[in-house]
Amino acid sequence: MAVQRTFSIIKPDATERNLTGAVNAVIEQAGLRIIGQRRIQMTEDQAKRFYAVHAERPFYGELVEFMTSGPVVVQVLEGENAVAKYREVMGATNPAEAADGTIRKLYAKSIGENSVHGSDSEENAAIEIAQFFSEADIAG
């Protein structure tokens, strides 16, 4: 399996509860390396563009409002099979369905306020990383 990159966001419900380090500990214990990281306040335009794929979904407005409600930490993760590995480490979208030990089982508040984002494919990972990082801000 090849070394891949994936894109991660520690969402506002987690930064608000001072859980950045706790989330990063789970990521690193899973063998993923944090090779880029920045704390930002997402603008409405950034959040709308990032979640454009969900524009027609009923929760889109709520999602954009949530993602701009406080600071987020955007990250580039690297490791063997990183895209699928991080999805596994995050757990199911709905924390009630997330497996024990996953970030969402440990920390998510609800299906909307679910602490982390992770890319769902290698192609989307590249697009999402490019939205928030230049190569100069990534060091593997």
Residues catalogued as catalytic: 117
Closer Cβ to ligand RTP, 20 or 139, answer by number = 20
Q: Is 48 annotated as a binding residue?
A: no
Q: How does DSSP classify residue 136?
A: G
Q: Is 56 or 135 the residue whose CB approaches ligand RTP more closely? A: 56
CB atoms within 10 A of CB 96: 10
Whether residue 102 is annotated as binding a ligand: the answer is: no
What is the closest distance, in whole angstroms, from the C-beta atom of residue 22 to ligand RTP in the complex?
A: 18
Pairwise CA distance, residues 77 & 79, whole Å: 7
Binding site for ligand RTP (CB under 6 A): 54, 59, 63, 93, 111-112, 114, 117-118, 120
Give 40's strand partners.
72
CA end-to-end span of the chain: 18
Least CB distance from residue 80 to ligand RTP, whole Å? 20
- Cα separation, 94 vs 79, whole angstroms: 25
Angle between helices 122-132 and 82-90 (to 10 degrees): 80
Q: Pick the closer one to ligand RTP by CB: 49 or 139.
A: 49
Nearest distance from residue 35's CB to ligand RTP, in Å? 19
Per the annotation, does 11 bind a ligand?
Answer: yes
> Which residue ranges make up the annotated binding site for ATP?
11, 59, 87, 93, 104, 114
> Which residue ranges make up the annotated binding site?
11, 59, 87, 93, 104, 114
